[in-house]
Structure 1
Amino acid sequence: MDWPFCSKLLLAAFLLAAAAIHGVRADAMVTGTVFCDQCKDGRISLFDYPLHGMKVAVTCADSNGEYTVWREETTNWFGNYAMRFEGTPDLSGCYARVSGGGGGCGAVGGPARSLRLMFRMFDMEMFTVDPLLSEPAQPMSFCPGSYKPAPPPLITPAPPPPLANPSPLPPLPPAPPLPQLPPMPFLEASACPHWNWTMPEYRCYWKVVTPDMKVAVVFGLIAARRFGTDMTLWQGIQGRGDPYRTLLREATTALLNSYNSLQFGYHPLGVIQDMNLALMGSVRRVLFTALGFRRANSGYGRAPCRFNPCK
């Protein structure tokens, strides 16, 4: 039996199972992320970070053309939000915006974003929103372009001539040596395969995410539909033998590497996005994405694994 035919059989079985389970229930889901745009440049950069506790509102126009808030949700620790609408309402003319909340960014939300339909299947709809931004009152001082040149020096009169027989000054003591800067491993290129992340002596490198966190919380709703709501990252990083478990193992490893090294081949958001796109595609897409993660986790043969045993 050839591979395309097997893929069609698997897809047909999945569609039949989904129809049997979800055929009598229609829901619309809206998902997205809120970031702090520290440089106020209107885009996501390395200086920006997800915001926790921000309120996001979905606003839609009624028959009179007046906009009203249909639903409001608060972002989680990863800056993500998810809204569920019962039935299949018409969300084509709706948009999402930051409506309030803390988060530590300091100011009001950025521009609103329109909802984009990702897929519609069995009366179930999934919408996504481009990243929403919250901006401070002024760009941070470390942002590119925020440097202000120093004012020109004032012209001072020439100093008076020295005395005829000046008294000699004592020599200055030697300057103390400058302290050595501490190592910054986050700025060094590092990539570690999945078996390194499962070793007990390297458990301290699980910093942003922990082994007991749920796959559904970290990767979102699409991953929850595939792997359930109880699977942890520790279970996911040890998966093998199945294309989807292999994808989860390599995606979890790539996410850990992206948080551990700024020079890793993937950004954390890129890992999550590619993971969800693969889950919505074919089995070939799943294997291709898993292979890309695996190559990055190996450092492409150039970046070593810079792990030191935890103390």
Structure 2
Amino acid sequence: MDFQEKLLFTAFLILAVATNGTQADAMVTGTVFCDQCKDGQMSLFDFPVNGAKVTLTCADSNGQIKMSREETTNWFGSYAMRLDGTPDLNGCSARVSGSGQGSMGCGEAAGPPQNLRLVFRMFDMEMYTVDPLLAQPAKPMNQCSGSSNPVPSPPTQHESPPPSHLPPFAGLPPLPPLPPMPPLPPVIFADASACPYQKWTMPEYKCYWRGVNPETKVAVAFGMAAARRYGTDMTLWNGLHGRGDPYRTLLREGVTALLNSYNSLQFSYHPLGVVQHMNWALMGSTRTVLLTALRFMRSNSGAGNVTCKFTSCE
């Protein structure tokens, strides 16, 4: 157990004792991600799912269900189940059991269930974690590699195609040319790329929006603290146009950092890191808001040595 985990568990213990005395209970926590490639594993395209339904089930030695609980994930894709007392959670597992409002269409199917892991026990209190659960859309996204219908390879120079018994199509007019194929969505940049907010508002770069879209609500992308500050109707597109106020500047640069993090593997922030720093800033002082906005702005500008890798989508 590293220092951060020890600090988390100590804080959890102090909070539990302060609020509930020495009452025994158990806590089960975890996160649900959208498995956009439907390959049953975490990938670069996956993101936390809000509104996913998670079911905890416990079976006895005969396979009979002895306990079942259901919880819904929050804006960060996380869930927490509190169980009174210290029940026997051996043989318990959690799985994605459905989708709800806010799940962004990622709940048609689900990945495998995951078993509980005990990470903390003290004073009759227990804390369990579950490895990431996967929710899946109806179809895999286009950027995913692999295909269930592979195209047969053409005949080699030593092979000849099967003979045709059809007469030649003499005298028929030539076929009209096929319409041009639409451009493929861009792949995630393997090297560093950082683009300022002005680039994200240009229509020729609209194909680089991934994970979220311009109409995604700020409250959905960043959580409860953002909902209290910016309301529930503010969209990411509106947030990109904020200026003249520390909190609107923070939102503009935070949205930009989130978009950059979804598009570059080497961007300064991971998507969850952007959300985390946004919430820390919104719960802090105005000085913290300004400092966080400046750090986001520095990363979004490339800090002097990283350029924007965008090319026109059209």
* Normalised TM-score (structure 2): 0.53
* Distance verdict in 2 for CA 1:80–1:93, change over 3 Å: farther
Q: 1:176 corresponds to which residue?
A: none
SS at match of 2:189: helix
Who is 2:290 aligned against? 287
Q: Report what 2:281 is aligned to.
A: 278
**Number of residue pairs matched?**
210
Return the letter of the residue paired with 1:80. G
Matches within 5 A, 1:1-311: 33-35=31-33, 49-50=47-48, 54-56=52-54, 72-75=70-73, 80=77, 98-101=94-97, 106-111=111-116, 133-134=132-133, 186-311=189-314
Mapped contact 1:34–1:132 kept (Cα < 8 A) = no
Return the offset for 1:97. Answer: 7.4
SS of match in other structure, 2:268? coil
Q: 1:133 to 1:208 in 2, by over 3 A?
A: closer
RMSD over aligned CA atoms reads: 4.4
Name the CA distance, whole Å, in 2 between partners of 1:204 and 1:131: 35
Instruction: Describe the superposition over 1:253-293 as per-residue Cα deviations: whole angstroms up to 9, x where unpaired.
Output: 00000111111111001001111111111111111111111
Q: CA deviation at 1:33?
A: 3.1
Partner of 2:171: none
Secondary structure of the corresponding residue to residue 98 of structure 1: strand
Report the Cα offset of residue 222 of structure 1.
Answer: 1.4
Question: Separation in 2 of the partners of 1:225 and 1:31?
Answer: 24
Q: Describe the SS at the equivalent of 2:267.
A: coil
1:284 alignment partner AA: R
| Contact persistence 2:97–2:110 (CA under 8 A) | no
Separation of aligned partners in 2, 1:130 and 1:241: 43
SS of the residue corresponding to residue 208 of structure 1 reads coil
Q: Secondary structure at the match of 2:193?
A: coil
Which amino acid is 2:236 matched to? L
Identical amino acids, percent of aligned pairs: 55
What TM-score, normalized to structure 1? 0.54
Equivalent position amino acid for 1:197 in 2:
W
Residue 101 of structure 1: CA displacement?
2.3
Structure ID, larger Rg: 1
Q: Secondary structure at the match of 2:228?
A: helix
Distance 1:98 1:273, change over 3 A: farther
Q: Distance in 2 between matches of 1:91 and 1:228?
A: 35
CA distance in 2, matches of 1:240, 1:130: 41
Whole-Å Cα distance in 1 between the matches of residues 29 and 284 of structure 2? 19
Distance of 1:130 and 1:255 partners within structure 2: 27
One-letter identity of the residue aligned with 1:223: A
CA displacement at 1:227 relative to structure 2: 0.5
Q: Cα deviations across residues 103-127 of structure 1 (Å, max 9, x unaligned)?
A: 6663212436899xxxxxxxxxxxx
The change in CA–CA distance for 1:39 and 1:202 in structure 2 (over 3 A counts) is closer
